[in-house]
Amino acid sequence: MEILAFGVQADEKPLIERAFQGHHEVRCLDVFLNEDTAPIAAGYEAISTSVNAELGARVLEVLAAGGTRMIAQRSTGFNNIDLKVAERLGMTVARVSYYSPYSVAEFAWTLAMAVNRRIVRAAIRTRDFDFRLDGLMGRDMYGRTVGVLGTGKIGEAFTRIAHGFGMKLLGWDVAENPACRELGMTYVSKEQLLAESDLVTLHVPLMPETQHLIDADALKAMKDDAILVNSSRGGLIDTAALVTELRAGRFTGVGLDVYEAEAGLFFLDKSLEAIEDDTLARLVTFPNVLVTSHQAYYTEDAVGQIVDATVKNVLDYRAGRRSENVLVPRS
C-alpha cells in the first residue's frame, strides 16, 4: 500500500520516508490538504495529514469518494477533523496522542524569555551595529508568579522549568496533576490565576469549552505588565480582543506560536503576498509581540516520535488493531 502524506516540511520528509521504509511506500507532498487538494488523494487508501489540514465534511466526502479509508494525522490536536462525518463515511481516523512534551514546554519558555528580555529587538539592533540598551530592560523570573492554564504533560514540563527559575506556581485545570502539586503548585480559579500571575501560559486543548478561553474579560483581568504565552492552539485566545488591549499599551510581552486563523498562512511562504488578515497584520507590528509559525513541536525528538506513531497507526489499521491513538475505529 502507498501512503500519501500532505503538508510535509522539508525537514520532515527524510524522517517520514525512513520510518515507512520496509513497511509501505510513502509519497510526500508539501501542499496542505484542503478542498482544492483533496482530489489528489484519489486512489490512496491511507493518507497522512498535518495539523493545519482542512478535514471538514466536504473534504472528507471527496476523500471517501476517491477511495480513502484511513486518515493518520501527525499531531495530537484533532479539532480540524469532523469525526462524526468520518464515522458516517466509514473512515478510520488516528492521531498522535503523545510526543515529547519538552519540545513545546521549552519553546514556550523561549517565547517568554525572548519577549521579557527583548531578544528580537536586541538582535536587530546589533546587526545594525547599534549597541544601545535603551528599551531592552527585562525582569528577573525568580520570585515572580507563573500561571499555568492546563497542567497535563506539557504543562507539567513547563512547571518543572518554572520551578527551576524559583517562581511561585499557580495552576488551573479540570483535574489536578500530583506531580505539579509536589513542585509546590497551588491550584486556583482561572480568575485568581490571571489576576496574580506575572507570566500566563496556555497548555490546554482546543475544544468548544476552551474556545476563547482568554477572551476580552480574561485579558482585562490580567496584570498590565504581565507576559502572555500561547504555544497550544490559536483559538484559545480572542485575538481581536488581544489587539485591543495591546493598543492600550498593556502587557510586557506576548509570545504566540499559534494563531486562530493560521490555516492557509502558517507553514507557507507569504513574503511576496499582501496579507489580507488585518488582525494578524496589526498584531505583528507591536514591538512587545513575538509571533512564530507553530514550531514549538518542531524538534528532532518530537517529530521523530510523531512519525513513528504515524507509521504504527497505519500498520495497526492494516492489521485491524486499535490503540489509544484511534479517534474513529475501523468499521
Look at residues 188, 195, 189, 254 and name the one whose alpha carbon lies nearest to residue 220: 195
The identity of residue 195, as a single letter, is A
**Catalytic position from the list 95, 260, 262, 330:** 262
Pairwise CA distance, residues 99 & 135, whole Å: 38
Please compute, for residue 100, the number of CA atoms within 13 A of its CA located in the half-sphere on the CB side: 18
**Catalytic position from the list 95, 118, 203, 294:** 294
- Contact status, residue 243 vs residue 249, Cβ threshold 8 Å: no
**Catalytic position from the list 233, 250, 260, 330:** 233
- Contact status, residue 284 vs residue 254, Cβ threshold 8 Å: no
Asked about 262 being catalytic, the answer comes back as yes
- Contact status, residue 134 vs residue 329, Cβ threshold 8 Å: no
Find the largest Cα–Cα distance for the chain: 65
Look at residues 321, 327, 317, 326 and name the one whose alpha carbon lies nearest to residue 1: 317
Pairwise CA distance, residues 29 & 20, whole Å: 15
Look up residue 41 and give its DSSP letter. Answer: G
Pairwise CA distance, residues 31 & 246, whole Å: 34
Residues forming the active site: 233, 262, 294
